[in-house]
């Protein structure tokens, strides 16, 4: 019987979801002491721990029994827990208890725990009772029912166990078992104790919950001709003849001791652990200095390569060397430090130096390598103008405007003296092209103008009525964006039908102005 207070839980799980049925029977007592006897909960266990029953608020629950039935065609393991006051769940049956396939069941009640086979046979039961199982009593137990049919070799039982044996001979059988197990334990101790002085082979097992190793105190090793010989796990190392510094090239004894810790013996002297000079390979591929009492290094012996490899180091650092030092780092070129330069991977591939670019340059990529380049704004362009009025006849074909002066030209786009009516593309790309013109005052007829490409194609066009207002004529501005190839050119052409010649007037910074600027 399990008593639960408000919010206490019964939880459970099975090795497969929705194949093990559960039923919880009992009673609920409310705050007015009304008792409601009923099935508290039923359902199927989930594949992971889940709540089966929660005690309602202001209620005490009395769980009389919990029944589990495996409906699956395979045996399944189950678990049941109780959780009180929101604390950790506690098991109320053995962990991962197995129920037979096709009807194996479990009953947890005031009489204890009973596990049944699919046919209803009691497989085993756990309960608390004070009966004696004596001969002739109602609970007499035969020895064979307890499987006491073993004949240990180091004793002679009163009667050889048989189907006819009963509890009268149980004492003799248990005494024999006790004697035999005691002898086996003594043998285990005898077997293990001497092994601790030699090899301790765990086979496929492992150590758990270890507090650590207690090593023997460090003993001093003195370098002799660049070498020492280790005899245990922990040593201090000193220079030969107490020299100010000494190189440690080789460590002997790797076949005897596979894992070692070395520490500086004297902080007034420096032991230089050498990389790949003898049989020591350091992961940083650089020497390590042991020049303080706190400096140390841990190494492991690799019998395949016949080398020591460091797995932890607290030395004073390796000998000074350049970051880009091909003799120390085989993945870099040999370059000195240049102010402003950066390190990058070259085509070899190796780490290399890219010297700082010129003022105003930025770091750019072509998709494979990096290089210094312009910020990315295009500079190709020109703006031109004409410094005098140009007379345009009435009617007939359109007239190209000349431009005899330049405000700027960054790419030889315009020639003020030859073919000065055109702007010619010298670098392929997308260009913004524009035109600004003003006509002399006249309100008669139509005024037209536009940008003409390669003498064949209008790219931008404007048409308006003549205008005379306050001494000013009509004006227009045209712009367009076009993808131009090298040697494509544009002109500005105008037309009017006022009945007589009419000027395109020249006004500084205003008219006529013609230009193109690369934008892509």
Structure-block tokens of residue 151: 């004949």
Asked if 69 and 43 touch (Cβ cutoff 8 Å), the reply is no
Note the pLDDT of residue 311: 85
Q: Which of 7, 11, 8, 1 is nearest to 52 (CA)?
A: 11
Note the pLDDT of residue 199: 60
Give, for all 520 residues of the chain, the pLDDT tens digit.
Answer: 798 999 999 999 999 999 999 999 999 998 888 888 999 999 999 999 999 999 999 999 999 999 999 999 999 999 999 999 888 899 999 999 999 999 999 999 988 899 999 999 999 887 655 444 445 555 554 444 444 434 444 444 444 444 444 444 444 445 555 555 555 555 554 554 444 555 666 666 665 666 666 778 999 999 999 999 999 999 999 999 999 999 999 999 988 888 999 999 998 999 999 999 999 999 888 899 998 888 899 999 999 999 999 986 665 555 556 777 776 667 788 777 889 899 989 988 888 889 998 988 889 898 899 999 877 788 999 999 999 999 999 999 999 999 999 999 999 999 999 999 999 999 999 999 999 999 999 999 999 999 999 999 999 999 999 999 988 999 999 999 999 999 999 999 999 999 999 999 999 999 999 999 999 9
Q: Which of 436, 415, 435 is nearest to 424 (CA)?
A: 415
Q: Set out the domains of the chain in order of their start, with CATH numbers.
A: 2-126 (no CATH), 144-183 (no CATH), 219-313 (2.60.120), 326-376 (no CATH), 381-518 (2.60.120.40)
Q: Which of 251, 282, 278, 272 is nearest to 319 (CA)?
A: 272
Note the pLDDT of residue 203: 61
Bridge partner residues of 281 (DSSP):
309
Tell whether the torsion through CA atoms of 375, 377, 378 and 384 is positive or negative. negative
> What pTM, to 2 d.p., does this model score?
0.37
Q: In whole angstroms, how far apart are CA 442 and each of 77, 299, 518?
A: 105, 100, 36
């Amino acid at each position: 019987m399990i008593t639960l207070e408000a919010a206490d839980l019964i939880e459970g799980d099975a090795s497969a979801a929705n194949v093990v049925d559960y039923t919880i029977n009992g009673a609920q007592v409310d705050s007015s002491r009304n008792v409601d006897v009923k099935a508290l909960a039923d359902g199927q266990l989930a594949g992971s721990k889940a709540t089966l029953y929660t005690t309602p608020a202001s209620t005490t629950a009395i769980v009389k029994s919990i029944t589990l039935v495996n409906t699956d065609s395979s045996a399944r393991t189950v678990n049941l827990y109780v959780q009180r006051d929101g604390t950790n769940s506690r098991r109320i049956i053995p962990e991962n208890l197995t129920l037979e396939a096709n009807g194996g069941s479990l009953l947890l009640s005031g009489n204890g725990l009973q596990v049944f086979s699919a046919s209803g046979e009691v497989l085993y039961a756990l309960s608390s009772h004070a009966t004696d199982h004596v001969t002739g009593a109602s609970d007499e137990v035969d020895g064979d029912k307890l499987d006491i049919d073993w004949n240990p070799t180091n004793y002679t039982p009163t009667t050889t166990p048989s189907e006819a044996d009963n509890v009268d001979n149980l004492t003799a059988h248990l005494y024999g078992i006790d004697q035999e197990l005691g002898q086996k334990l003594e043998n285990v101790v005898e077997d293990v104790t001497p092994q601790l002085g030699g090899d301790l082979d765990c086979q496929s097992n492992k150590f758990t919950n270890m507090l650590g190793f207690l090593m023997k105190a460090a003993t001093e090793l003195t370098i002799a001709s660049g070498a020492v010989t280790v005899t245990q796990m922990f040593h201090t190392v000193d220079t030969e003849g107490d020299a100010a510094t000494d190189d440690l090239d080789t460590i002997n004894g790797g076949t005897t001791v596979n894992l070692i810790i070395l520490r500086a013996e004297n902080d007034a002297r420096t032991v230089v652990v050498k990389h790949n000079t003898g049989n020591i390979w350091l992961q940083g591929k650089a020497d390590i200095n042991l020049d303080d009492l706190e400096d140390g290094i841990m190494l492991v012996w690799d019998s395949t390569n016949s080398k020591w490899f460091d797995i932890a180091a607290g030395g004073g650092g390796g000998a000074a060397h350049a970051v880009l030092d091909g003799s120390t780092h085989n993945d870099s070129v040999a370059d000195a430090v240049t102010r402003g330069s950066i390190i990058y991977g070259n085509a070899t591939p190796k780490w290399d130096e890219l010297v700082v670019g010129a003022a105003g340059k930025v770091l750019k990529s072509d998709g494979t390598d990096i290089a210094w380049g312009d910020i990315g704004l295009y500079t190709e362009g020109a703006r031109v103008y004409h410094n005098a009025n140009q007379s345009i006849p009435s009617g007939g074909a359109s007239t190209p405007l000349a431009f005899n002066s330049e405000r700027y030209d960054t790419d030889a786009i315009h020639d003020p003296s030859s073919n000065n009516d055109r702007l010619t593309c010298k670098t392929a790309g997308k260009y913004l092209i524009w035109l600004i013109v003003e006509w002399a005052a006249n309100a008669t007829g139509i005024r037209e103008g536009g940008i003409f490409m390669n003498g064949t194609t209008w790219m931008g066009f404007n048409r308006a009525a003549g205008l005379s207002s306050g001494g000013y004529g009509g004006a227009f501005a045209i712009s367009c964006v076009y993808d131009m190839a090298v040697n494509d050119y544009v002109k500005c052409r105008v037309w009017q039908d006022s009945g007589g010649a009419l000027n395109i007037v020249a006004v500084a910074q205003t008219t006529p102005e013609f230009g193109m600027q690369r934008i892509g």
